[in-house]
Structure 1
Amino acid sequence: MAVFDPSFFNLGEKSGKRGSADLCAYFFLHAKQLLNSNGGFGLIATNTIGQGDTREVGLDQLIADGGVITRAVPSRKWAGIASLEVAYVWLRQDNWLGEFVLDDKVVDGITAFLTNPGKALGNPYKLIANQNKSFQGSNILGLGFTMTDEEAQALIEKDAKNKDVLFPYLNGEDLNSSQTQSPSRWVINFQDYPLDAEHDDLKKPKGKPYASDYPDCLEIVREKVKPERDKNNYSKSAREKWWLYERSRPELYNAIANLKRVLVLSIVNNHLGFAFASENIVFAHRLAVFPFDNYAVFTLLQCNFHYQWAWEYSSTLRKDINYSPSDCFQTFPFPASTAKLEEIGDRYYNHRQNIMQTRQEGLTKTYNRFHNPDETAADIQQLRELHIEMDNAVAAAYGWQDLLPSPSGRGAGGEGLSHGFHQTKQGLRFTISETARREVLDRLLELNHQRYAEEVAQGLHDKSKKKGKSGGKKKAQAESKKQDNDNGQMSLF
Structure 2
Amino acid sequence: MTVDEFIQIWRDSTRTERSASQEHFLQLCHLLGEKTPAELDPDGVFFTFEKGANKTTGTRGWADVWLKGCFAWEYKGKGKDLKKAFVQLQQYALALENPPLLIVSDMETIEIHTNFTNTVAEVHLIQLEDLRDPQQFKLLKTLFNKDKIDEVFKPAKTRDAVTLEMAEQFTELAQRLRSRGHDPHQVAHFINRLVFCMFAEDIGILPKSLFTTLLESVLKQIRTGKNRFQQRMSELFAIMQTGGDFGLEEIDWFNGGLFDDDGALPLEKADVEHLLRAARHDWKDIEPSIFGTLFERGLDPDKRSQLGAHYTDRDSILRILEPVIFAPLNTEWEQIKLQIQSLLENIGKGTRKAKKSKNELEADGLYHGFLERLNNLQVLDPACGSGNFLYLTLLGLKDLENKVLIDAEMMGLERQFPRVSPKSLNGIEVNPYAAELARVTVWIGQIQWVLGHGYDLPKNPILEKLDNIECCDALLTHTGIEKNWKTVDFIVGNPPFLGNKKMISILGEDYVNQLRALFQGRVAGGADLVCYWFEKARAQLEQGRVQAVGLVSTNSIRGGSNRKVLDRIGETGQIFQAWSDEPWINEGAAVRVSLVCFTSPEKQQFYPITTLDNQVTSEIYSDLTTPNTAQTLDLTKAKPLAENASVAFQGTIKVGAFDIAGDLAREWVKSSFNPNGKPNSDVLRPWANGMDVVRRYSDTWIIDFGVNMSEDDASLYEKPFEYVVKNVKPKRVGKREERANEKWWILQRSRPEMRLALKPLFRFIITSRVSKYRLFIWMDKTVLPDSRLYAIAREDDTTFGILHCRFHELWSLKTCSWHGVGNDPTYNAHSCFETFPFPDGLSPNIPASEYADNPHAQAIAKAAQRLNELRDNWLNPPNLVQRVPEIVAGYPERILPMNAEAEKELKKRTLTNLYNLKPQWLVKAHEVLDNAVATAYGWEHHLSDDDVLARLLALNLARSEK
User: Which structure 2 residues correspond to residues 138-149 of structure 1 after superposition, within 5 A?
Assistant: 138-143=652-657, 145-149=658-662
Distance 1:137 1:272 in 2: 17
> Which has the higher Rg, Structure 1 or Structure 2?
2
1:432 aligns with: none
2:864 aligns with: 345
1:241 aligns with: 743
Structure 1 stretches lacking a partner, 5+ long: 197-209, 371-379, 406-415, 418-435, 455-493
* TM-score, structure 1 normalization: 0.73
1:112 maps to 2:628: no
Is the alpha carbon distance of 1:215 and 1:43 closer, same or farther for their aligned partners in structure 2, counting shifts above 3 Å?
Answer: closer
Question: Given that residues 120 and 446 in structure 1 are in contact (C-alpha distance below 8 angstroms), is that contact kept between their aligned partners in structure 2?
Answer: no
1:76 aligns with: 582
- How far is the alpha carbon of 1:34 from its aligned partner? 4.2
1:490 aligns with: none
Question: Given that residues 758 and 793 in structure 2 are in contact (C-alpha distance below 8 angstroms), is that contact kept between their aligned partners in structure 1?
Answer: yes
Bigger shift: residues 10-19 or 221-230 = 10-19
Q: Counterpart amino acid of 2:681?
A: K
1:166 aligns with: 684
Distance 2:746 2:637 in 1: 38
- How far is the alpha carbon of 1:125 from its aligned partner? 1.7
Question: Given that residues 763 and 780 in structure 2 are in contact (C-alpha distance below 8 angstroms), is that contact kept between their aligned partners in structure 1?
Answer: yes
1:277 aligns with: 779
Distance 1:167 1:13 in 2: 40
1:394 maps to 2:929: no
Q: Counterpart amino acid of 1:345?
A: A
Distance 1:308 1:441 in 2: 7
Is the alpha carbon distance of 1:47 and 1:187 closer, same or farther for their aligned partners in structure 2, counting shifts above 3 Å?
Answer: closer
Distance 1:277 1:48 in 2: 28
Q: Counterpart amino acid of 1:70?
A: F
Secondary structure of the residue aligned to 2:646 is coil
1:211 maps to 2:724: no
Q: Counterpart amino acid of 1:162?
A: N
Match for residue 364 of structure 1 among 912, 918, 931: 912
Query: What do residues 405-429 of structure 1 show as CA deviations (whole Å, max 9, x unaligned)?
Result: 4xxxxxxxxxx33xxxxxxxxxxxx
- How far is the alpha carbon of 1:115 from its aligned partner? 0.7
Question: Given that residues 11 and 29 in structure 1 are in contact (C-alpha distance below 8 angstroms), is that contact kept between their aligned partners in structure 2?
Answer: no
Secondary structure of the residue aligned to 1:83 is strand
Question: Given that residues 37 and 93 in structure 1 are in contact (C-alpha distance below 8 angstroms), is that contact kept between their aligned partners in structure 2?
Answer: no
Match for residue 267 of structure 1 among 769, 772, 775: 769
- How far is the alpha carbon of 1:16 from its aligned partner? 4.2
1:252 aligns with: 754
- How far is the alpha carbon of 1:129 from its aligned partner? 0.9
Secondary structure of the residue aligned to 1:220 is helix
- How far is the alpha carbon of 1:10 from its aligned partner? 7.2
Is the alpha carbon distance of 1:139 and 1:33 closer, same or farther for their aligned partners in structure 2, counting shifts above 3 Å?
Answer: closer
- How far is the alpha carbon of 1:15 from its aligned partner? 4.5
Distance 1:94 1:219 in 2: 62
1:175 aligns with: 693
Distance 1:187 1:443 in 2: 43
1:27 maps to 2:566: no
1:329 maps to 2:868: no
Secondary structure of the residue aligned to 2:868 is helix
Q: Counterpart amino acid of 1:125?
A: K
- How far is the alpha carbon of 1:56 from its aligned partner? 0.7
Q: Counterpart amino acid of 1:116?
A: T
2:664 aligns with: 151
Distance 2:757 2:873 in 1: 30
Query: What do residues 354-405 of structure 1 show as CA deviations (whole Å, max 9, x unaligned)?
Result: 22224631122222223xxxxxxxxx1221222233223222221223xx24
Question: Given that residues 120 and 443 in structure 1 are in contact (C-alpha distance below 8 angstroms), is that contact kept between their aligned partners in structure 2?
Answer: no
Query: What do residues 419-477 of structure 1 show as CA deviations (whole Å, max 9, x unaligned)?
Result: xxxxxxxxxxxxxxxxx2x33222222211211111xxxxxxxxxxxxxxxxxxxxxxx
Query: What do residues 177-198 of structure 1 show as CA deviations (whole Å, max 9, x unaligned)?
Result: 11xxx451122222132223xx
Q: Counterpart amino acid of 2:557?
A: I
Distance 1:63 1:12 in 2: 22
Is the alpha carbon distance of 1:62 and 1:391 closer, same or farther for their aligned partners in structure 2, counting shifts above 3 Å?
Answer: same
1:127 aligns with: 641
1:86 aligns with: 593
> RMSD between aligned alpha carbons?
2.8
Distance 1:151 1:14 in 2: 46
* TM-score, structure 2 normalization: 0.39
1:187 aligns with: 702
Distance 1:92 1:11 in 2: 27
Distance 1:305 1:288 in 2: 19
1:487 aligns with: none
Question: Given that residues 166 and 188 in structure 1 are in contact (C-alpha distance below 8 angstroms), is that contact kept between their aligned partners in structure 2?
Answer: yes
Secondary structure of the residue aligned to 1:168 is strand
Is the alpha carbon distance of 1:123 and 1:184 closer, same or farther for their aligned partners in structure 2, counting shifts above 3 Å?
Answer: same
Q: Counterpart amino acid of 2:597?
A: W
Distance 1:141 1:44 in 2: 29
Secondary structure of the residue aligned to 1:441 is helix
- How far is the alpha carbon of 1:38 from its aligned partner? 11
Query: What do residues 24-70 of structure 1 show as CA deviations (whole Å, max 9, x unaligned)?
Result: 4333334344445994444444323322222212x1101111x1223
Q: Counterpart amino acid of 2:680?
A: N
1:63 aligns with: 570
Q: Counterpart amino acid of 2:626?
A: N
Secondary structure of the residue aligned to 1:312 is helix
Q: Counterpart amino acid of 2:921?
A: Q
Q: Count residues with an aligned counterpart.
A: 394
Q: Counterpart amino acid of 1:165?
A: V
Distance 2:598 2:522 in 1: 22
Secondary structure of the residue aligned to 1:84 is strand
- How far is the alpha carbon of 1:127 from its aligned partner? 1.7
Distance 2:579 2:812 in 1: 20
Q: Percent identical across equivalent pairs? A: 31
Is the alpha carbon distance of 1:396 and 1:109 closer, same or farther for their aligned partners in structure 2, counting shifts above 3 Å?
Answer: farther
Q: Counterpart amino acid of 1:130?
A: N
Is the alpha carbon distance of 1:240 and 1:77 closer, same or farther for their aligned partners in structure 2, counting shifts above 3 Å?
Answer: closer
Question: Given that residues 119 and 442 in structure 1 are in contact (C-alpha distance below 8 angstroms), is that contact kept between their aligned partners in structure 2?
Answer: no
- How far is the alpha carbon of 1:154 from its aligned partner? 1.5
Q: Counterpart amino acid of 1:366?
A: L
